[in-house]
Chains A and B, each alone.
Chain A
Amino acid sequence: MIINILILIIPLIASIFYKNIKNSSVIASIIELFLLLFLYFNEGSPGFFFVDNVSFIFILMVDSIYLLSLLYSRKYVHSIKNRGISENFYYLLMNFFYVSMVFALMVNNYGFMWVGIETTTISSALLLITEKSDTSLEATWRYIIIVSAGVTFAFISVILIYYSFHTLTVTAIIYSKVKDTIAIRLAIGIALVGFGTKVGVFPVHTWLPDAHSEAPSPVSAMFSGVLLPVALYVLYRIYEIFPLKELFVWAGTVSVLFAAIFLGYQKNFKRMFAYSTMENMNIALIGLSTFTYLGLIGSLLLLLSHSFGKAGAFYSSGNIYKMSDTKNIADIKGLINNKMSSVSLLLSSFAVTGTPPYGTFFGEFLILYSVLQIHFYAQFIIIVLSLFLAFVSINFNVTKMIFKGKSDYSENNVGTLIPLIAAIISIAVGVVFLVVYNEIL
């Protein structure tokens, strides 16, 4: 309990040092990583907070990407010319954003989980206008109105859960006897649409490419790498009450298919990575929805590896945007001359498209296997075809940006190390999994 409270309070304490918030936030995020070690060994019995192995992986993911994004932001945000919010306010919002995500992951109550998810919208909305333009204002607006309307719809699900169980305590409900009533089925169906808006489920995903493409790169990395998985975690906790496999697996499959189709005609590389996030989140949703052990392991592996890979992809995108002043794929040429940026972009793009030996590859493999285990063959075929389409679309565009033509971009004013570290961690997740898996076998 004390560790949970400390995890929530430390970033807020860091925010008190407003004038030096840039440094205090980084220190706070490092302390948070140490606290996670204590949390792992002292999970404790469920009370107001509830942290099991599943939620722990999500918290670890959020904290790691938060630290990387803070480090990457130091150079990136400082160099933004037309800022919509001040640099210090940016870090303040980042801290609140992080706290709201961790709160949603740790709390043992569906009502407060809803509050946590809604608070992530509040704290992250203004981050989108850090690089202020007419387009980023419109994207911010779409993000707030679409996500808020969706998450509001999800509150009906919370009301129906309370109506069915007369409690909102997660552990009390998921460990109780399984109930099959229309109210519960409705609650879970509504949660899919409501929280699905934030996860990026088709057709309520429309805010996602706009927000990701217009947000500053470290914020895009936070959105893609951890915000969507946090919403997926809440959806999964509701799904655990009564798994509607058919509905959820089909919703995920259709979303993956559409994401792969959208990926085929993207002109903006940040939008392309945004649709890749939609694809990956829905693959993870499918894995969780199979409600099998392998599906769960596969999803967690995919999400963990994807969070680092996608953070690397967005950091690299940020560097490319800074160097070239364009987000248009066709206008980017000869990145090969910028060794660090091209390597990190290539590694990240392999990570998010599920290339071996990345964790995403093993995650997708286990998820596909779990889909076969529950005999959803039609969905299996659609997912495999979509994955292939997405792989080709993204890697074709990325290799074109790197190897085609010549350029004279300069890497002097961008942070090249953090994107590379993020991409390498994504490989490490896969390799570690392989080693551990061999040991178990």
Chain B
Amino acid sequence: MSIIYTIIYLITALITISGFYIQGNKYIRSMAMTQGFQSLLIAIVSFMLGFVLKEYTFFILGILVIILRMFLVTYFLINKIPKNKSYLYESKISITYLLIMDLIFIIISIFIVYSISFIYIKTTTFPVSNILLFPLLLFFQGLFLIASRRRTMAQVLGYIEEENSLILLGVFILPVPIIIESSVFLDVLILVVIFSVISIEKPVHEKMEELRG
């Protein structure tokens, strides 16, 4: 049994690493595909926990993640990226600088949030308590992605990464009832569609004088 827990632990670590990969990427399409892969990993974690704990809701959750997050969301995102080369590639950003800033931001945030409060919250589904670090890392990465990029699609991916971290957090702390979880998924799906609609009209975001103050 402990081997399965170790595998779950490693996959969860891989999910966080995929977050770093998204952060360090300039190609929007590749970032969207990685998000799909990240969702698949979350679904695998959910299936494995369902198998270990003999709890059918984890399987439903996993299936929902695969259908809604991995396929539908990724499909919408990839199809709505304008074909123009300048939209597919973020040339104006310095990846090295962003990655260093990301690390500083995450370390400070995690130190504050995890060490002060989350360290006292014991997971009911996983015996190793510090696994909660991974979803929190992913959450702050999502936040940083939204704040650090100007492209609409990159910001949408940051938001989805945040959502992914919450599923993972829920899975480890205590999964909320599946009816609520599925409503959340549908909400997010519609939001992604709206995001995509707006991204056609406004693919890049800059400061505007009219919205100052």
A binds B: yes
Binding site for B on A (CB under 8 A): 109, 111-112, 114-115, 118-119, 121-122, 125-126, 129, 134-135, 137-142, 144-145, 148-149, 152-153, 155-156, 158-160, 162-163, 166, 168, 182-183, 185-186, 209-210, 213-214, 262, 265-268, 271
Contact, CB under 8 Å: B152 / A149: no
Residues of A within 8 A of B188 (CB): 118
User: What residues on B are CB-neighbors of A152 within 8 Å?
Assistant: 159, 162-163, 166
Sample (24) of A-B pairs whose CB atoms are under 8 Å apart: A111-B177, A111-B180, A115-B180, A115-B184, A118-B187, A118-B191, A125-B194, A137-B201, A138-B202, A144-B194, A149-B159, A149-B162, A155-B184, A156-B166, A156-B169, A159-B169, A162-B174, A168-B180, A186-B117, A186-B118, A186-B121, A214-B211, A267-B213, A271-B213
| Residues of B with C-beta under 8 A to A159 | 166, 169-170, 173-174, 176
Binding site for A on B (CB under 8 A): 117-118, 120-121, 124, 139, 142-143, 146, 152, 155, 158-159, 162-163, 166, 169-170, 173-174, 176-177, 180, 183-184, 187-188, 190-191, 194-195, 197-198, 201-202, 205, 208, 210-211, 213
Name the CB-closest residue of B to A152: B162
Known: A135-B211, A139-B211, A149-B159. A162 touches B146 (CB 8 A): no
What is the chain B residue whose CB lies nearest that of A185? Answer: B117
Pair B191/A122 contact, Cβ less than 8 Å: yes
Residue of B166, B174, B210 with most chain A CB atoms under a 10 A cut-off: B210
B residues near A166, Cβ cutoff 8 Å:
174
- Given A144-B191, A152-B163, A210-B211, answer yes or no on A183-B121 (Cβ-Cβ < 8 Å): yes
Inter-chain contacts of B180 with A (CB < 8 A): 109, 111-112, 114-115, 158, 168
Q: Which residue of B lies closest to A125 (CB)?
A: B194
The interface residues of chain B lying within 8 Å CB-to-CB of A267 are 213
Residues on the A chain within 8 Å of B152, using CB: 141
6 nearest CB pairs, A to B: A111-B180, A115-B183, A118-B187, A182-B120, A137-B202, A163-B174
Q: Which residue of A lies closest to B156 (CB)?
A: A145
A145 engages B155 (CB within 8 Å): yes
Least Cβ–Cβ distance between B172 and chain A, in angstroms: 10
**Closest CB in chain A relative to B194 CB, distance in Å:** 5
Bound complex: CA A138 to CA B139 (Å) = 24
Q: How far is the CA of A162 from the CA of B57 in the complex (A)?
A: 16
